């Protein structure tokens, strides 16, 4: 009986432990359910499916054709060779093969282009997944931040409630003025209003995280209580190198340049002749029934025929002039390749600048977090001191409230500083292609 009673008492704690959503859990759920990630994966799969021999033009095309025809004819004639009334049945079938043997290396250029497009789709999917993961983690840490701010507001409310109760007791005993009681009541009401507003922010943050996780917005979430911040593992030189090698946006831009280069090869193929192999095979079965007017006619009543036809041949074509369209296409393809090269150089420069900016920002934010931690300690000590003085009547209610507000401000600033530092570190990890959760 004691064992069951203990289990019953532990059920609420076990339930709370099971419902805590860690950052790792959020990423796992998001990778499985997020709609943007699913679309990105499907888009990459489409690009991979298109990279085949058939889509590039290496394989022949084979077409089959079948036909059935039933017809009747009524004829009046005095010709001895007339057929009179007749009914015809015609059944035919054919198979045709067309195989391009040479198209100015267009099929090879297409094959390379589709392969590069498949890689481009993979890099695009990776970039989309990374952005979504960063968004999920940012939403997760924001929910942690809002929960922390709610705890600060509740603690402040509890302190204000204690002060209000003491003010009421002193008022009843005649040891305090109505002004102190009213000030305590206003402070308590303000703290309650802050809690109401902060509860709304928590609800909104929880809804946003659920949406990113591909879940119903109203699903309850319990997150961890702290935001851990580690320093970056590499110096700025190594960060620059990793960003140039692993950044997904940079890889996506580089792949776009490779696709543009293949488009140039594709445009060049139009200046070569085309050689194709053509083959066909057909079968026809025909039967005609007629009414014989002259029984002595030498024409048979039923005429049957079967035909089998086969053909094979080569065709060579070469465009001599099409209004300079091929030349213009080649010029445009080369210009687009040049644009992609410029975009790649610009992307490299932009990434390097972002890495330097985020690295410097993160270092300053770590210093700010350390400073804010000291401010919280000092503000807490000051509030404890003012509380002692207030209890013995040597500190006014305004002095006590000022100390309380200073602590709230210091705690709020520290929470925001930790959140901003964690987001900046997350951005650095995305820039160097090494997203982390810890």
Residues 6 or more apart in contact with residue 105 via CB below 8 angstroms: 265, 268, 269, 272
Kindly state the tokens that stand for 223: 């997150």
Per-residue confidence (pLDDT) for residue 323, from 0 to 100: 84
Angle at 44 between CA 42 and CA 47, to 5 degrees: 115
Residue 404 lies in a domain: yes
DSSP secondary structure code for residue 386 in this structure: H
**Domain membership flag for residue 53:** yes
Same domain for 29 and 173, yes or no, is yes
Whether residues 138 and 230 share a domain: the answer is: yes
- Tell whether 160 and 221 lie within a shared domain: yes
Let me know whether 364 and 230 are in one domain.
yes
Q: Is 63 helix (H, G, I), strand (E, B) or coil?
A: strand
Asked if the structure places residue 5 within a domain, the reply is: no
Structural domain total, the chain: 2
pLDDT for position 55: 73
Final residue before a domain boundary, out of 265, 298, 317? 317
pLDDT in tens, 237-262: 999 999 999 999 999 899 999 889 98
Q: What CATH number is attached to the domain comprising 386?
A: 1.20.1600.10
- What's the confidence (pLDDT) of residue 81? 58
Residue 417 lies in a domain: yes
Whole-number pLDDT of residue 127: 86
Domain match, 237 and 295 both? no
Domain interval for residue 244: 13-57+103-273+323-431
- List of residues 6+ apart from 200 with CB closer than 8 A: none
Residue 83 sits in the same domain as residue 190 = no
Based on the fold, state whether residues 158 and 133 are members of the same structural domain.
yes
DSSP string, 244-305: HHH-HHHHHHHHHHHHHHHHHHHHHGGGS-EEEEEEEEEEEEEEEEE--S-TT-SS-SEEEE
On whether both 268 and 281 belong to a single domain, the answer is: no
Instruction: Identify the residue whose tokens are 């580089």.
Output: 254
The confidence score (pLDDT) of residue 411 equals: 95
Is there a single domain that holds both residue 37 and residue 91? no
The last residue of one of the domains, among 317, 344, 379, is 317
Q: Is residue 7 part of a domain?
A: no
Domain boundary among 317, 343, 374: 317
Q: Is residue 155 part of a domain?
A: yes
Q: What is the pLDDT of residue 297?
A: 55
Give the span between the Cα atoms of 86 and 293, in whole angstroms.
12
- Domain shared by 303 and 328, yes or no: no
Claim to verify: residue 125 and residue 214 sit in the same structural domain? yes
Report CA-CA distances (Å) from 127 to 30, 124, 431: 15, 5, 11
pLDDT tens-digit profile, the chain (438 residues): 444 344 444 444 444 444 788 888 888 888 888 888 788 888 888 877 877 776 777 788 888 988 888 877 766 666 555 556 778 888 888 898 888 887 777 777 777 777 877 887 888 888 888 888 899 999 999 999 999 999 999 999 999 898 888 888 877 777 666 788 888 899 999 999 999 999 999 999 999 999 999 999 989 999 998 888 888 888 899 999 999 999 999 998 999 998 899 889 888 888 888 888 898 888 888 877 766 555 555 556 677 788 888 888 888 888 888 888 889 999 999 999 999 999 999 999 999 999 999 999 999 999 999 999 999 999 999 999 998 888 887 888 888 889 999 999 999 999 999 999 999 999 999 999 887 655
pLDDT of residue 13: 44
pLDDT at 394: 82
């Amino acid at each position: 009986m004691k064992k069951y009673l203990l289990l019953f008492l532990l059920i609420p704690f076990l339930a709370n432990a099971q419902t805590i959503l860690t950052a790792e859990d959020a990423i796992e759920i998001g990778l499985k359910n997020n709609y943007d990630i699913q679309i990105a994966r499907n888009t990459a799969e489409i690009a991979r499916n298109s990279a085949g021999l058939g889509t590039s033009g290496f394989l022949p095309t084979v077409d089959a054709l079948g036909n059935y025809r039933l017809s009747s004819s009524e004829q009046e004639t005095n010709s001895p060779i007339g057929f009179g009334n007749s009914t015809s049945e015609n059944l035919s079938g054919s198979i045709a093969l067309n195989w391009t043997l040479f198209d100015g290396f267009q099929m090879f250029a297409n094959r390379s282009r589709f392969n590069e497009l498949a890689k481009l789709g993979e890099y695009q999917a990776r970039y989309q997944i990374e952005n979504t993961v960063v968004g999920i983690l940012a939403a997760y840490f924001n929910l942690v931040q809002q929960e922390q701010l709610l705890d600060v507001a509740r603690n402040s409310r509890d302190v204000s409630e204690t002060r209000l109760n003491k003010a009421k007791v002193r008022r009843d005993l005649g040891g305090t003025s109505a002004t102190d009681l009213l000030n305590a009541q206003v402070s308590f009401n303000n703290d309650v209003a802050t809690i109401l507003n902060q509860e709304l922010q928590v609800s909104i943050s929880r809804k946003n995280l659920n949406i990113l996780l591909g879940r119903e917005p109203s699903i309850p979430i319990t997150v961890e209580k702290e935001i851990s911040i580690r320093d970056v593992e590499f110096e700025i030189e190594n960060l620059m190198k990793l960003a140039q090698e692993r950044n997904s946006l940079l890889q996506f831009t580089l792949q776009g340049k490779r696709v543009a280069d293949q488009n140039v090869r594709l445009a060049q193929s139009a200046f070569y002749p085309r050689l194709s192999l053509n083959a066909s095979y057909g079968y026809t079965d025909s039967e005609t029934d007629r009414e014989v007017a002259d029984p002595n006619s030498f024409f048979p009543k039923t005429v049957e025929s079967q035909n089998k036809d086969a053909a094979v041949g080569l065709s060579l074509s070469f465009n001599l002039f099409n209004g300079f369209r091929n030349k213009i296409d080649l010029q445009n393809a080369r210009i687009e390749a040049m644009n992609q090269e410029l975009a790649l150089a610009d992307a490299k420069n932009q990434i390097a600048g972002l890495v330097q900016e985020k690295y410097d920002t993160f270092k300053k934010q770590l210093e700010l977090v350390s400073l804010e931690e000291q401010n919280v300690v000092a503000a807490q000590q000051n509030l404890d001191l003012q509380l002692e003085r207030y209890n013995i009547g040597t500190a006014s209610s305004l002095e006590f409230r000022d100390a309380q507000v200073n602590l709230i401000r210091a705690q709020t600033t520290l929470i925001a500083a930790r959140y901003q530092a964690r987001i900046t570190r997350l951005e650095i990890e995305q820039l160097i292609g090494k997203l982390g959760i810890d």
